[in-house]
Amino acid sequence: MAPKRRIETMEENRAKLISAARKAFAEKGFAAASMDELTADVGLTRGALYHSFGDKKGLLAAVVAQIDGEMAGRAQEAGAAKGDWEGLLAEGAAYIAMALDPEVQRIVLLDGPAFLGDPSQWPSQNVCLEVTKQAVARLVSEGTLAPVDVEAAARLLNGAALNAALWVAASEEPQSVLPKAVEAFQLMATGLLAKRS
Amino acid sequence: MAPKRRIETMEENRAKLISAARKAFAEKGFAAASMDELTADVGLTRGALYHSFGDKKGLLAAVVAQIDGEMAGRAQEAGAAKGDWEGLLAEGAAYIAMALDPEVQRIVLLDGPAFLGDPSQWPSQNVCLEVTKQAVARLVSEGTLAPVDVEAAARLLNGAALNAALWVAASEEPQSVLPKAVEAFQLMATGLLAKRS
DNA sequence: AATCTCACATACGGTACGTATGTCAATCCG
DNA sequence: CGGATTGACATACGTACCGTATGTGAGATT
C-alpha cells in the first residue's frame, strides 16, 4: 500500500463526513441527526468531526456550502445558453426544479436559514443569490428591467422560486404541479420588466 | 377567594405557557429553548406542558397557530379598506412589515417550517396563506388578474413577501430597506395582472 | 533513528427530552 | 355531607446527545 499522505486522508475523511451528513440531514433533519451515528457510518467518531468542523453547525455550514455551490452551477448552466431575460426565467425554473431534491429542500431551504441565519450572510455567501443578482444587474443596466433595487429583486425572485418549490415538493403530485409553479413564477417575473414607452 | 374552576385554571396555564413560549422561542429559537426554563418562568413544570401539549413540537404548533391567526387578522385589516387589487398589494406590504417582528420571523418563518414541515399542512392551516388565496381568487374571477393557478400565485406572493421580509430584518438599516422591498414586491406583483387587450 | 506533530479516539460532565409514577385539590355521587 | 374518583400537574428516572478535555499512534521532521 502506498504510504497514505496525511493531508490526503484528512480530506478524504472530511469528504466522507460531509457526504454522510448530507444523507443524515436530508433524512432526519439537522436537529434530529445524531453525530454519533453520522460519524460511525463512515467508520469515524465525533472526535474527527469536532476536529474538522468545530461543532455541529460547522458541519451543517460545510454541507450547505457544497450543495449551494452545486445549485449555483446548475442554475448558471440553465441560464447560460439563452438571452439575459430568458436566462433569468430559466434560472428560476431550474431553481424550482432543484428544490424538489430532498437534500436541497431540507438542508438548504429549511434547516439552513433556521440554524445558520440569513442566507445572504452565510460563509458560502449563498452563491445562488449572487448568480441571480448578477443576472438582474445586467438586465437593469441594459434597460430590460425597470430600475428596481437589484438586491430586492433578486431576493424576491429567489424567495418566490423557493416557496414555489416547497409547495411543489409538499404536493401529492409534484409532476403535475411543477409546470403550474413555473408558469406562475415566470408570469410574476414579467412584472419587473420595463414598461414599453 | 372564589373557588377556582378547574377548566378555568387549566386554560390560564395553557395561555401562560404559550405566552412564555413565544418569548423563549423568539429569543433563543425553538431548538435551544429549554422546556424546564420555560415552564419554571410561569411557575409550572414540564409536567403541565406534556399534559397540555403532548410534546415540545405540540407547544410550537400552538404558538405558531396563535401568531398565524394574529397575522392573518392584521393582513385582512390592511387590505379590507381598499379595492381588491390595492388590497392585495396592501396585504403583501403588511406581511412584509409584520415579518420584522422577531416572534413572527423566528417562530413562524424559520422554525415553523423547519420543525413542523410545510406551512400549508399545519394544523392551523396557515390562515395567512388562505387569506391571500381568497384575494387572488376574487381578482382572477373578476378578470383583474391573468388566469393563473390560484394556489400557485398565492404561494409565490407569500413566498416573495416572506423572503423580502427576512432580507429586511437581516439588513443593518431595516427602516431604509423596507420601502425598497415593498416597492419591488408590488412591482413584481403587477406581472400577474391581466394584459390590457 | 529519535523527536515531534496532529488527526483522531476515548472518556467525562452537563443538559435536555420524554415517560412513568405519585399527589392533591376539584368534582361527582350516594 | 363525606367518601370515592377524576385529572391536572409535580416528581423522579432513564436515555440520548452535545461539547470538551485528555490520550495515542501513525506519519512528518530533523
CA of A127 to nearest chain B CA: how many angstroms apart?
16
Q: Cβ contact (<8 Å) for B114 and A118?
A: no
Both B41 and B103 in one domain: the answer is: no
Q: Are residues B50 and B94 in the same domain?
A: no
Cα separation, B99 vs B158, in Å, equals 11
Which three cell numbers, joined as nine digits, stand for A158? 429567489
Cross-chain Cβ contact B181/A152 below 8 Å:
yes
Angstrom distance (rounded) from CA B43 to CA B49: 12
Quickly give A146 CA vs C2 C1' distance in Å: 72
In a shared domain, residues B38 and B81: no
Q: Among all strands, which nt has the closest C1' to B49 (CA)?
A: D9
CA–CA distance, A23 with A38 (Å, rounded to integer): 9
Return the half-sphere exposure (C-beta side, CA atoms, 13 A cut-off) of residue B165. 24
Please list the residues that pair with B193 across neighbouring strands.
B145
Residues A44 and A69 in one domain: no
If asked whether residues B132 and B166 sit together in one domain, one would say: yes
Residue A182 lies in a domain: yes
Give a three-class secondary structure readout of chain B.
CCCCCHHHHHHHHHHHHHHHHHHHHHHHCCCCCCHHHHHHHCCCCHHHHHHHHCCHHHHHHHHHHHHHHHHHHHHHHHHHCCCHHHHHHHHHHHHHHHCCCHHHHHHHHHHHHHHHCCHHHCCCCCHHHHHHHHHHHHHHHCCCECCCCHHHHHHHHHHHHHHHHHHHHHCCCHHHHHHHHHHHHHHHHHHHECCCC
- Closest CA–CA distance from residue B196 to any residue of chain A (Å): 13
What band does B1 get if pLDDT is binned at 50, 70 and 90? very low
The residue range of the domain holding A21 is 1-54
Looking at A19, A34, A54, the residue that finishes a domain is A54
pLDDT score recorded for residue B66: 97
* Cell matching residue A57: 453547525
CB-based burial of residue B161 (10 Å sphere; 0-12 exposed, 13-18 middle, 19+ buried)? buried
Strand C nucleotides below 7 A of a protein CB?
7-11, 15-20, 22, 25-27
Q: What's this model's pTM, rounded to 2 decimal places?
A: 0.91
Which chain B residue lies closest to A156 (C-alpha atoms)?
B160
- A37 and A18 in one domain? yes
Could you tell me if residue B3 is inside a domain? yes
Q: Is residue A138 part of a domain?
A: yes
Are residues B46 and B6 part of one domain? yes
A145, β-bridge pairs: A193
Residues B168-193: tens digit of each pLDDT: 888 889 889 999 999 999 999 999 99
User: Which one of B111, B151, B160 has the shortest CB-CB distance to A159?
Assistant: B160
Cβ atoms within 10 A of the Cβ of B47, count? 9
Chain B CB contacts of A137 under 8 Å are none
Is B2's pLDDT higher than 70? no
Q: Which of A87-91, A94-98, A138-142, B7-11 has the lowest mean pLDDT?
A: B7-11
Of B158, B160, B170, nearest to A121 by CB-CB distance is B170
**Is position A59 within any domain?**
no
Residues of A in contact with B112 (CB under 8 A): none
- Whole-angstrom CA distances from A59 to A35, A36, A112, B44, B173 are 10, 13, 11, 37, 31
Question: What is the tally of structural domains in chain A?
Answer: 2
Cβ(A6)–Cβ(A34) below 8 Å: no
Examine residue B23 and state whether it is found in any structural domain, yes or no: yes
Query: How far, in Å, CA of A91 to CA of A89, rounded?
Result: 5
H or E stretch covering A13: helix A6-28
Task: Specify the DSSP class assigned to residue A55.
Answer: S
Q: Which H or E run contains A119?
A: none
A78 and A116 part of one domain:
yes
Q: What is the pLDDT of residues B64-99, one digit of tens each?
A: 999 999 999 999 999 998 999 999 999 999 999 998
Q: What is the CATH number of the domain that holds A177?
A: 1.10.357.10
Q: Which residue of A has its CA nearest to B30?
A: A114
Residues of A in contact with B181 (CB under 8 A): 152, 155-156
User: Do A79 and A155 belong together in one domain?
Assistant: yes
C-alpha cell at B77: 385589516
Q: Is residue A79 one of the residues assigned to a domain? A: yes
pLDDT digits (tens, 9 = 90+) for A82-123: 899 999 999 999 999 998 899 999 999 999 999 999 888 887
- The CATH number covering residue A41 comes to 1.10.10
Please check whether residue B59 lies inside any domain of the structure: no
Residue at a domain's end among B30, B54, B78: B54
Residues A33 and A75 in one domain: no
For residue A28, what pLDDT is reported?
96
Q: Which pLDDT score is estimated for A118?
A: 85
- pLDDT at residue A166, as a whole number: 85
- Measured CA A62 to C1' C9 distance, in angstroms: 23
What distances in angstroms separate CA B89 from CA A20, B6, B158, one per listed residue? 45, 46, 11
By CA distance, what is B150's nearest residue in A?
A: A184
- Decide if A114 and B117 are in contact by the 8 Å CB cutoff: no
Residue of A nearest to B110 (CA): A114
Q: Are residues B48 and B97 in the same domain?
A: no
Pairwise CB contact (< 8 Å): B183 & A118: no
Query: Domain for residue A60, yes or no?
Result: no
Residue B166 pLDDT class (50, 70, 90 cuts): confident
Average pLDDT over residues A45-74: 96
Same domain for A47 and A70? no
The nucleotide whose C1' lies nearest the CA of A55 is: D19
